[in-house]
A and B are shown apart, each in its own frame.
Chain A
């Protein structure tokens, strides 16, 4: 790596080098290089099965890589965990679980509270304030399964906000949510970006990429293109990423 690359890696909240992931022998991600720009909103897009979720999960240590390097601000994950917030796909959760919206947001304070730390009024206030930021303050005591899909997604975003992280990684945050929720989530994410935080979201709706995001990373097992939306989100790169199956674009 050249000194220039090293500097870029330390500067980047999330960089990936030559990452290969295989599932039962078949490569799901192949030789991925990715350098997320700090203080920007990046969309990871690509067709179904392109490995978008797998890429996020591998970066976060939830899926093991066959080879490659993942760095957060130049460090391996464990050294920077406290600065990273993750919003998993909604489907990954048990909706019958006895947890109310506020309980879920309080989980975001685990690193602050530790095993035995006492929950104080300031912690509850902080969690309540995060619910308010996503417009869910009136649902604090509602059991999580009784909320609509969009409301559930907002509660998970509130949990991530409670962590007061510098990097936000979201897996399909807008999948299956109503228009009001979509607007609310995007407003919160753009607010984070404007406050200097970095946002990376797996995104599936090509028609909103230009309106919502600053940068795109196009993925289809290989890294197809990466850069500012204006110059990278083009007919040519999309055609290359999606092949002949470009969905309505």
Chain B
């Protein structure tokens, strides 16, 4: 276990840890903006809405005679179905009297249900390679390919760069949307960009964290970070750091215990850091408030 934490893992496991760190950094950073904008739960709808696309992409790739588990193909399928989910959710909120939380609940369950049906269909097919698609529910890094780890690291880096480029308008719009619009910030477009970044992080994280728990990696780091600072810039940075540390430690732990799914290990690490922040963060932690 100490070997794992100090990266005495061998080349492959090191790459996996690198991918998980990049993913955690990106998720923590995007997640901070998402929670500041008070739309944290949208990420739950997005992540569950990936499942039908994931399963359909698998079926399409197999029927074309390819490898059903080719990661970029699965990511594309997931992204398309999550985008469809987002679009329907937006339509329900705008065009009907349903509120966003209702739309989130509806999209989450309908898409996830459809995805589970498709997964079951896939399991009854005798393609010989269906095993492993369930890994995308809770994440698994055992036997991960180098190219997959690198794809994930690159995806995380891209999302991080795009998020940081938008940090100023994102913060102004989260704090004071009316003022932001008068200043010339198109808040509708900005919100769509934020949703796209959340979608990108979700799809990037499918293999490592899994679609059920990615929402935790988006929300917990920023919740923990809020205890450490009153400055939004620092909250975002700390949130990214907590996400990165969770990704790294979780992936390293998973390397020593390949039977455990990786997603829960990463999320439990993040939760431990949250608990630490809740009690021990200077000035705002519970331990300091009592004193």
Residue numbers of A with Cβ under 8 A of B are 57, 60-62, 78, 81, 84, 86, 88, 92-94, 97-100, 103-104, 107, 110-111, 113-116, 143, 159
Contact = CB atoms under 8 A, between A and B. Distances in A.
Given A81-B183, A107-B172, A111-B183, A97 B178 contact: no
Contacts of B38: 94
B229 A98 contact: yes
A107 B184 contact: no
B94 to A, nearest CB: 14
B168 A97 contact: no
27 contacts: A57-B178, A60-B182, A62-B182, A81-B182, A81-B184, A84-B182, A86-B182, A88-B176, A92-B176, A92-B178, A93-B176, A97-B232, A98-B232, A98-B235, A99-B171, A99-B230, A99-B231, A103-B231, A103-B232, A107-B171, A110-B169, A110-B172, A111-B184, A115-B165, A115-B168, A143-B230, A159-B179
Interface of B: 36, 38, 165-166, 168-169, 171-172, 174-176, 178-179, 181-185, 226, 229-235
A180 to B, nearest CB: 24
B225 to A, nearest CB: 9
Given A99-B175, A99-B231, A61 B165 contact: no
A98 B178 contact: no
Task: Identify whether the interface residues of B are mostly helix, strand, loop, or mixed.
Answer: helix
B166 A78 contact: no
A79 to B, nearest CB: 11
Nearest to B234: A98
Contacts of A93: 175-176
Output the residue of B165, B179, B181, B232 with the most chain A CB within 10 A: B179
A33 B280 CA distance: 59
A100 B169 CA distance: 17
Contacts of A99: 171, 175, 230-232
A61 B235 CA distance: 31
A110 B231 contact: no
A88 B235 contact: no
A100 B231 contact: yes
Contact of A100 (B36, B165, B168, B230): B230
B288 to A, nearest CB: 16
A78 B179 contact: no
Contact of B175 (A60, A86, A104, A116): A104
B135 to A, nearest CB: 37
Nearest to B176: A93
B240 to A, nearest CB: 14
A215 B208 CA distance: 64
Contacts of B185: 110
Output the residue of A86, A100, A107 with the most chain B CB within 10 A: A107
B41 to A, nearest CB: 17
Given A107-B176, A110-B172, A115-B166, A98 B226 contact: yes
A51 B26 CA distance: 44
Output the residue of A97, A98, A103 with the most chain B CB within 10 A: A98
B175 to A, nearest CB: 5
The 10 closest A-B pairs by CB, nearest first: A143-B230, A86-B182, A98-B232, A98-B235, A81-B184, A60-B182, A88-B178, A107-B172, A97-B175, A98-B230
A88 B172 CA distance: 13
Contacts of A115: 165-166, 168-169
Contacts of A62: 178, 181-182
Contacts of A88: 176, 178-179
Nearest to B175: A97
Contacts of A92: 176, 178
